[in-house]
């Protein structure tokens, strides 16, 4: 059931991202809603949910947006794998872990997307990627700062309810 909800949520995030892309621009920063969703799921629920959401959400993004098929899937799968592995080590700061992972992996996601898009087309890659990507990274981190702790709180509460008290 969790994997089905992860896939459905990824498709909804992809539809929201593609529909709201021109309307949620702040300066030159665009939100990556599917990316934020995937990383939060990978940190909070684990690798299976994160990888499922990454595959389904990336496929939905590639089909909806004018991108070569597979670059979003590859980028999201790489980030979900890293987030699930690194998320296990961040148990002590579990409420901040999704925010930290989104901040770090947003650079990775954007650079992989830009590199693959440049490799598959005749265009050159960005000249100064970090300065160009920083507003989007901050935007994604702010979204994760709102959603991440809420997701962790729901997960912690559910685990406490499932535990049997003697």
90 in Cβ contact with 53 (< 8 Å): no
**How many domains, the chain?**
1
Neighbours of 88 (CB within 10 A): 12
- CA atoms of 1 and 92, how far apart (whole Å): 28
Residue 30 belongs to a domain with what CATH number?
1.10.1760
The predicted-structure confidence for 19-72, as pLDDT tens digits, reads as follows 987 788 888 788 899 999 999 999 999 899 999 999 999 999 999 988 888 999
Largest CA distance in the chain: 65
Q: For residue 80, give the nearest of 93, 98, 60, 62 by alpha carbon.
A: 98
- CA atoms of 72 and 33, how far apart (whole Å): 12
Neighbours of 102 (CB within 10 A): 28
The predicted-structure confidence for 101-121, as pLDDT tens digits, reads as follows 999 999 999 999 888 888 887
The predicted-structure confidence for 66-93, as pLDDT tens digits, reads as follows 888 899 999 999 999 999 999 887 777 7
58 in Cβ contact with 75 (< 8 Å): yes
pTM: 0.89
Neighbours of 130 (CB within 10 A): 11
Q: Which domain holds residue 47?
A: 2-162
């Amino acid at each position: 059931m969790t994997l089905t909800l992860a896939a459905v949520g990824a498709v909804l995030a992809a539809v929201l991202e593609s529909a709201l892309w021109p309307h949620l621009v702040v300066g030159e920063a665009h939100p990556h809603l599917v990316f934020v969703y995937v990383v939060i799921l990978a940190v909070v629920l684990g690798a299976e949910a994160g990888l499922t959401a990454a595959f389904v959400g990336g496929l939905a993004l590639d089909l909806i947006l004018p991108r070569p098929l597979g670059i979003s899937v590859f980028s999201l799968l790489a980030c979900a794998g890293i987030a699930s592995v690194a998320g296990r080590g961040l148990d002590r700061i579990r409420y901040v872990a999704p925010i930290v992972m989104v901040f770090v992996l947003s650079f990775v996601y954007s650079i992989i997307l830009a590199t693959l898009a440049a490799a598959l087309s005749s265009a050159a890659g960005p000249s100064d990627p970090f300065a160009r990507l920083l507003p989007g990274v901050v935007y994604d981190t702010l979204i994760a700062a709102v959603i991440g702790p809420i997701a962790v709180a729901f997960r912690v509460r559910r685990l406490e309810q499932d535990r049997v008290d003697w």
